[in-house]
Amino acid sequence: MIIVLRAGATEGDVRQVEETLRVKGLSAHISRGVERTIIGAIGDERKLDPELFEGLPAVEKVLRILSPFKLVSREFQKEDTVIDVNGRKIGGRAIALFAGPCSVEGKDMMVDIGGSVAACGATFLRGGAFKPRTSPYAFQGLGEEGLKHLAEARERTGLPVATELMDPRDLDLVARYADIIQIGARNMQNFRLLTEVGKLDKPVILKRGMSATIQELLMSAEYIASEGNRKIVLCERGIRTYETATRNTFDVSAFPVLKSLTHLPVIADPSHAAGKASLVEPLAAAAIAAGADGLMIEVHDRPEKALSDGPQSLRPETFGKVIERLRKVAEAVGRTL
Amino acid sequence: MIIVLRAGATEGDVRQVEETLRVKGLSAHISRGVERTIIGAIGDERKLDPELFEGLPAVEKVLRILSPFKLVSREFQKEDTVIDVNGRKIGGRAIALFAGPCSVEGKDMMVDIGGSVAACGATFLRGGAFKPRTSPYAFQGLGEEGLKHLAEARERTGLPVATELMDPRDLDLVARYADIIQIGARNMQNFRLLTEVGKLDKPVILKRGMSATIQELLMSAEYIASEGNRKIVLCERGIRTYETATRNTFDVSAFPVLKSLTHLPVIADPSHAAGKASLVEPLAAAAIAAGADGLMIEVHDRPEKALSDGPQSLRPETFGKVIERLRKVAEAVGRTL
Amino acid sequence: MIIVLRAGATEGDVRQVEETLRVKGLSAHISRGVERTIIGAIGDERKLDPELFEGLPAVEKVLRILSPFKLVSREFQKEDTVIDVNGRKIGGRAIALFAGPCSVEGKDMMVDIGGSVAACGATFLRGGAFKPRTSPYAFQGLGEEGLKHLAEARERTGLPVATELMDPRDLDLVARYADIIQIGARNMQNFRLLTEVGKLDKPVILKRGMSATIQELLMSAEYIASEGNRKIVLCERGIRTYETATRNTFDVSAFPVLKSLTHLPVIADPSHAAGKASLVEPLAAAAIAAGADGLMIEVHDRPEKALSDGPQSLRPETFGKVIERLRKVAEAVGRTL
Amino acid sequence: MIIVLRAGATEGDVRQVEETLRVKGLSAHISRGVERTIIGAIGDERKLDPELFEGLPAVEKVLRILSPFKLVSREFQKEDTVIDVNGRKIGGRAIALFAGPCSVEGKDMMVDIGGSVAACGATFLRGGAFKPRTSPYAFQGLGEEGLKHLAEARERTGLPVATELMDPRDLDLVARYADIIQIGARNMQNFRLLTEVGKLDKPVILKRGMSATIQELLMSAEYIASEGNRKIVLCERGIRTYETATRNTFDVSAFPVLKSLTHLPVIADPSHAAGKASLVEPLAAAAIAAGADGLMIEVHDRPEKALSDGPQSLRPETFGKVIERLRKVAEAVGRTL
């Protein structure tokens, strides 16, 4: 950590910073320039909170040298993490393909859609039983009944299932049915929920918050990892910007940036990013081209009657054709789908 | 709701929209223009999710006529909501003043700071016992011990206390000690938590999420109100933008905009918006001038040793002087402080 | 245009809107609902500025039905615009490839780099002679001398050259040397400059402003088109968001969205979007996969000595390898490169 | 400047940075930590472009110590700049009040509105003769005719006039009529225009770009100052964010932040920030409370017939009452209006 003092800082100001460093077990390297005095912290920077210094009137700015996350960093682990879920992999050369409806709406629809997407090459089923909805008057999901339908669809298709957890009180229930637990964008900084899934031995998909920086996403992953669970899959699903032509702005740069900073697999959710079925294919293709390790795509047999997210859902037959075309893009960048 | 069809939409497309409206209990008013056919929904728009129509290939856009929130709207209740907490008011002519440390760090500090801010005119005490922190390695709050210190400070000062709830599992515990429950910015769309505090008979401060629109803030308030709890205080605390000179961008327009849309009181948290002690006074003054009903200000006796948010905390003596100056601004706009 | 009146609007308010419509040559269709009165404008909406009605106290909101641009819209012209520049095409199945240094720094370097990129498959040369720089103390470009070096490189390689115009006073000068004129992101709403290039018979690359919406980009293109020049190439180069991990956020959704709204070709500038050489390839691949019609890539023989944009420039040898890999992605989506 | 090398950087990498520094006339201070090697540049950092180092593969990040602007900085000049325009001041204890229509629409209206606002205490007249409009089909201003009407209004009221310059070719014309030249938000980084007004001996109002950072605004002011013109007035007029409830987000923090970084006066344009007449008063009050040195307010005698910006214009009678109330806020913070 580098602490830059304001012009006119006194020797007393320098002493104060030195003293704070000493208390935290670090030492100071002082460099007096013509315009500014700069203090370098010698020792483990991660023990220091920049706020310790930003509060001092003589301090102009505090610059971090190291990233604040560790266990999830590429520096900590050089090789890519590959997660195995009953023989299906996330990470590695093959692109993982999660597909299914936004909400589980019934057993038959779940089993039918599950069968269709499995036939098209999906490697995981998705479906929400607990749904975060902006309006209290909107459909909130089927709860445990939905989880049972998911389990039924797994039974029939052999595909592992992923579903969202919104509340620590539902942890046991959801963990009983789900192979993979999803933490939604709105809960990316629900730290209590992160701590709880960190104690499980089950893969977790962590979606990037609507206005989370890449660093904040990694810090949330660090929360899970620091509790012991290293089976973490990051998911880019679009960020909030001033642009209103799309529901969110799909941050395609996040794939190469994340792959350089972390060893964790990173997947894409083009359906939520776009908010429109016609944009799912181009965004999915872009994600693969930019290095995504997986896709999560919403499929519904009757999008116009879906209880949530209809506009962005693909029909099963469209999904099949889209996957065929995406397969070529995957091959062009040395991956399989 | 107005449904605009694409150029070239067929009679069949019109029928499909009409049919969907009929199923939901509304009827259609069709207007065929030279360039577009437009369908107006006749009946209760709030029963309709725009997604029902956005999913149809022939639909170009869907425009809402009414706002999606109701109970919290100014249309539903004309007069301002004024919340009474043991004789102290939030809403109305007097500006509510919440003050105290970011985190409760011990009994003595809490009691000392409580005494100081009470002497300067604070009407409520604040202090966090459960702290949402970006890093798993940072101080997470004292938990129940912190709540006890808060209660002790209330005992000594006579001021009601407000503290944050992060997890539905802590609800009973927090409700036992707190007079007002705070929902933090990161939990503004933690819908399960909103539903739980909606069942309480206790005021709730709902902070605006870092990238929440004003409409989303009101929808989250509607979640609480729809469960029965109407004692809701909204809090503007800065939003995330591209500007990095301040931690957040304090959206001062939110005060007049919210006051026109809702009957709920709206307070300001200039400490979190700014992230810097020197900005607290100008932002607090701006908030009052723009119509805020209250202020929440972080005060710490030794900001440079604070376990969280030191840089933005005022010392008690500074706090006193700031309040004296803010009082003049309040009077200039016909309020008291 | 749909004009929604506030609850409680009077007959007089309705008359006032009707009267304003009549003055502009349109008529009103009035629909009185239970909660709101809605007025539809019958006639050519493009003659109306929403501000005409937003100013009225009784008006709650004004909703546009049609897009405000016309000549550049897909509705106005169904087939893709393909621009021919001395036999080289922009638009159509082949992906146009613009390459060269950020700034022209000398004749030799320009000719050398030109030769290298031509050998790798570039179809157009780029290079700045007039440079917009954030700091007045930074290198501002070689001016006319730079234009001459560009012309020399064109002579040697046979590739048409594109260069930026910043000032209407330089129009004749730049037009004398350049085959394609580039309007930079900072000048996307320099309407006087747009009007001037609109009078030329020369292709114009219009870069999206740093915080321009897709609609604003199209309105700026409409400025050029309305003066007569229809040879317009749109360019996505990243937008400004809260994320700081990349210089800009590359809005990859802009390709499919723009291709649906306009008949103009849309190219990508992954170099400026990323600000880092290592991100150029993944972003270029993503752009192709999402439907871009061309790429603009910065190439420099000694990036570490470049007078501008060194960090994001590729060396010629790297460029060659990148293009080889991108070619496979282009083929996977049915394009050539 | 601090240059942080990646983990694993070699001695050769260190030499390369040292060498680059030496070429630019600076020397290197090398500090080898356990996890990173850090190189501090000793000498005048402003000669260095961070890009020089960001391009090197071994460099992880480059941190500036000093701000990149100088002449406009508070460090360069401690005392506030006060600009005198024919006896009227901008800067200092009295708040400057610019008022008038968005566009000059005719002589009578300009003279009438001028008279009205002068009577209410305006100290400067504003009015646009050249208008930047998003649509090529919208009213573009009266040009020289409008300038003449402005001059006429000055004649009658005795108030200096401010008007926008959009094109360097209009410089002589506009400078002939205007007392103060305004550079609009869309031209904040039109560097050629900045350079031209930098050569004048006439005050310049520089509006913050829609997505400009505070640092970029100061760099644009530096452009003007570096040409010799130090009579610069900065203007906050709202920034672009994800929030759509207001046209722009008024960044009220910009006042205290700018006042700490620069000696230049900073004024507020609440009319453009809000986009709605009803928001002008609360935002103006907030600006004054936060330390603004002036206000620029749009006034129109018939807002519903205004050729531009009607919705945000105040009627003269409303303007008078608003100013009376704002006067109290000004007095509360020790200013006059």
B and D: number of Cβ contacts within 8 A? 124
Question: What is d(CA A107, CA A115) in angstroms, rounded to the nearest whole number?
Answer: 12
Q: How close D216 gets to chain C, by Cα (Å)?
A: 7
- Report the alpha-carbon distance of residue B309 to residue B307 in Å, rounded: 7
Instruction: Tell me the CA distances in angstroms from C265 to A252, C179, C217, D135, D328, one per residue in order.
Output: 21, 17, 13, 21, 56
DSSP D95: P
Neighbours of C28 (CB within 10 A): 18
Residues near C248 by Cβ (< 8 Å), separated by ≥ 6?
A: C210, C237, C238, C239, C240, C241, C272, C273, C274, C275
Q: Find the CB nearest B166 among A137, A192, A303.
A: A192
Query: Closest Cα to residue B6, out of B62, B59, B63?
Result: B59
Q: Are B287 and B236 in contact (CB under 8 A)?
A: yes
Non-local CB neighbours of A142 within 8 Å, separated by 6+ positions: A103, A104, A105, A129, A149
- Nearest CA to CA, how far is D229 from chain A (Å)? 26
| pLDDT per position as a tens digit, A269-323 | 999 988 888 999 999 999 999 999 999 999 998 877 777 777 788 999 999 999 9
Cβ neighbours of residue B72 closer than 8 Å, sequence gap 6 or more:
B218, B221, B222, B225, B232, B262, B263, B264
pLDDT given for residue C310 in this prediction: 72
Whole-angstrom distance, CA of residue D153 vs CA of residue D111: 5
- At residue B263, the pLDDT reads 98
Tell me what the mean pLDDT of segment A250-276 comes to.
95
List of domains in chain B: 2-63 (3.30.70.1140), 83-332 (3.20.20.70)
The reply to whether residue C256 touches residue A213, judged by beta carbons under 8 angstroms, is: no
Question: Residue A77: exposed, middle, or buried by beta-carbon count in 10 A (0-12, 13-18, 19+)?
Answer: middle
**Contact status, residue A307 vs residue A122, Cβ threshold 8 Å:** no
Separation CA A90–CA D22 (nearest Å)? 49
Interface of D with B in 276-335 (CB under 8 A): 278-279, 282-283, 285-291, 325, 328-329, 331-333
Residues 170-229 of A with CB under 8 A from D: 211
- B211:A216 CB<8 A: no
Instruction: Give me the total of CB pairs closer than 8 Å, taking one residue from chain A and one from chain D.
Output: 38
Look over chain D and give the mean of its residue pLDDT values, rounded to a whole number: 93
For residue C290, what pLDDT band results from cuts at 50, 70 and 90? Answer: very high
The pLDDT assigned to B189 comes to: 97
| Distance in angstroms (rounded) separating the CA atoms of residues B114 and B99 | 8
User: Which pTM does this prediction carry?
Assistant: 0.95
CA distance C292 to chain A (A): 10
Closest chain D residue to the Cα of C67, Cα to Cα: D135
Per-residue DSSP letters for B87-114?
TEEESSSBPEEEEE-SB---HHHHHHHH
Residue D141 to chain A, least CA–CA distance (Å): 29
Q: Are A301 and A105 in contact (CB under 8 A)?
A: no
Residue type, C233: V
Which residue in the set D241, D283, D289 is minimally distant from B329, CB to CB? Answer: D289
pLDDT in tens, C95-143: 999 999 999 999 999 999 999 999 999 999 999 999 998 889 888 999 9
CA-closest candidate to residue B161, choices B193, B185, B128: B128
- Alpha helices by DSSP H, listed for D78-168, are 107-119, 144-157
- What's the rounded Cα separation, in Å, for the pair D110 and D142? 12
Model confidence pLDDT, tens digit, residues C3-53: 999 888 999 999 989 988 888 888 888 888 878 898 988 888 877 888 778
> Which residues on C lie below 8 Å from B211 (Cβ)?
242
CB contact under 8 A, C132 and D303: no
Q: Do B257 and D244 touch (CB under 8 A)?
A: no
Gap between the Cα atoms of A171 and A193, Å rounded = 9
CB contacts < 8 A (C, D): 112
End-to-end, the C-alpha distance of chain A in Å comes to 44
- Indicate the pLDDT class of residue D94, thresholds 50, 70 and 90: very high
**C65 near B CB under 8 A:** yes
Question: Which residues lie closer than 8 Å to D305 by C-beta, 6 or more apart?
Answer: none
**Closest alpha carbon within chain C to D224:** C136
Chain C environment of A245 (Cβ under 8 Å)? 213-215, 253-254, 257
Q: Contacts of residue C287 in chain A, CB cutoff 8 Å?
A: 286
CA distance C69 to chain B (A): 14
Could you tell me the strand order of the sheet in which C37-42 lies? C27-32, C37-42, C2-5, C59-63
> What residues have CB less than 8 Å from D208, skipping those under 6 apart?
D185, D188, D214, D217, D234, D235, D236, D237, D239, D251, D254
Between D35 and A198, residue with greater pLDDT:
A198
pLDDT at D179: 98
Task: Inspect the interface and report whether the beta carbons of D277 and C192 lie closer than 8 Å.
Answer: no
Let me know if C118 is exposed, middle or buried by CB neighbors in 10 A (0-12, 13-18, 19+): buried
Least confident among A206-210, A230-234, B28-32:
B28-32
Q: What is the pLDDT of residues D143-196, one digit of tens each?
A: 999 999 999 999 999 999 999 999 999 999 999 999 999 999 999 999 999 999
ipTM reported for the complex, 2 dp: 0.94
Q: Check residues C313 and D110 and name the one with the higher pLDDT.
A: D110
Of D243, D248, D251, D327, which to mutate for an interface test with B (greatest number of B Cβ within 10 Å)? D243
pLDDT band for position D36 (cuts 50, 70, 90): confident
Chain D, 231 to 260: residues with Cβ < 8 Å from chain B are 239, 241-246, 249-257, 260
Average pLDDT over residues C142-151: 96
Kindly state whether C337 is in contact with chain A, defined as any CB-CB distance less than 8 angstroms.
no
Residue B29 sits at the chain C interface (C-beta within 8 Å):
yes
Cβ of A65 within 8 Å of Cβ of D38? The answer is yes
Alpha-carbon distance B192 to nearest alpha carbon in chain A (angstroms):
7
C198: closest CA of chain D, how far (Å): 11
CB pairs under 8 A between A and B: 112
Q: Which two tokens stand for residue A283?
A: 């965004």
Q: Work out the angle at residue C55's Cα, subtended by the Cα atoms of residues C51 and C57, and round it to the nearest 5 degrees.
A: 145
Q: Are A90 and A233 in contact (CB under 8 A)?
A: yes
Question: What is the model's pLDDT at position A276?
Answer: 87
Chain A residues whose beta carbon lies within 8 Å of the beta carbon of residue D7: 75
User: Are the beta carbons of C169 and D166 separated by less than 8 Å?
Assistant: no
Q: What is the pLDDT of residue A255?
A: 98
Minimal Cβ distance to A242: which of D31, D63, D241: D241
Phi, psi of B125 (to 5 degrees): -100, 145
Nearest to C167 among D168, D219, D277 (CB): D168
Would you place residue C337 in the very low, low, confident or very high pLDDT band (cuts 50, 70, 90)?
Answer: very high
Pseudo-torsion of CA C109, C110, C115, C120, nearest 10°? Answer: 100
Local structure of residue D190 (DSSP, 8 states): -
DSSP D32: E
Of C52, C138, C211, the CB nearest to D49: C138
The verdict on a CB contact (< 8 Å) between C38 and B63 is no
Q: A33 contacts in D (CB within 8 Å)?
A: 42, 65
In tens, the pLDDT along A72-116 reads: 999 999 999 999 999 999 999 999 999 999 999 999 999 999 999
* Measured distance CA(D225)–CA(D230) in Å, rounded: 5
Residue whose entry in the numeric block shows the structure tokens 């879906």: A306
d(CA A68, CA D177): 57
Task: Supply C335's token pair.
Answer: 């394009």
pLDDT above 80: residue A328: yes
In a mutational test of the B interface, the residue from D69, D210, D251, D253 whose CB has the highest number of chain B CBs within 10 Å is: D253
Whether residue B241 and residue C244 make contact (CB cut-off 8 A), yes or no, is no
Name the residue in chain C with its Cα closest to that of A285: C289
Query: How many angstroms separate the CA atoms of D222 and D232, rounded?
Result: 10
Q: Which residue of D has its CA nearest to C241?
A: D241
Give residues 70 to 129 of C whose Cβ lies within 8 Å of D. Answer: none
Q: Does A2 sit within 8 Å of D2, measured CB to CB?
A: yes
- Contact at 8 Å (CB) between D114 and D125? yes
Distance from C-alpha of D157 to C-alpha of D139, rounded to nearest angstrom = 27
pLDDT in the model for residue A290: 98
For chain B, say whether C52 makes contact (Cβ under 8 Å): no
Q: Identify which of A190, A310, A313 has the shortest CB distance to residue B190.
A: A190
What is the overall mean pLDDT for chain A?
Answer: 93
Distance from CA of D335 to the nearest CA of C (A): 32
The pLDDT > 90 percentage for chain D reads: 74
Quick one: closest CA in D to B278, which residue?
A: D256
Sorted by sequence, the CB contacts under 8 Å of residue C61 that are 6+ apart come out as: C4, C54
| pLDDT tens by residue, chain B, 337 residues | 889 998 889 999 999 889 888 888 888 888 888 788 989 888 888 778 887 788 777 888 888 888 889 999 999 999 999 999 999 999 999 999 999 999 999 999 999 999 999 999 999 999 999 999 888 988 889 999 999 999 999 999 999 999 999 999 999 999 999 999 999 999 999 999 999 999 999 999 999 999 999 999 999 999 999 999 999 999 999 999 999 999 999 999 999 999 999 999 999 999 998 888 899 999 999 999 999 999 999 999 887 777 777 778 899 999 999 999 999 999 999 999 9
Condensed to tens digits (0 to 9), the pLDDT of residues A118-149 reads 999 999 999 999 999 888 988 889 999 999 99
Q: Contact D80/D294 with Cβ under 8 angstroms?
A: no
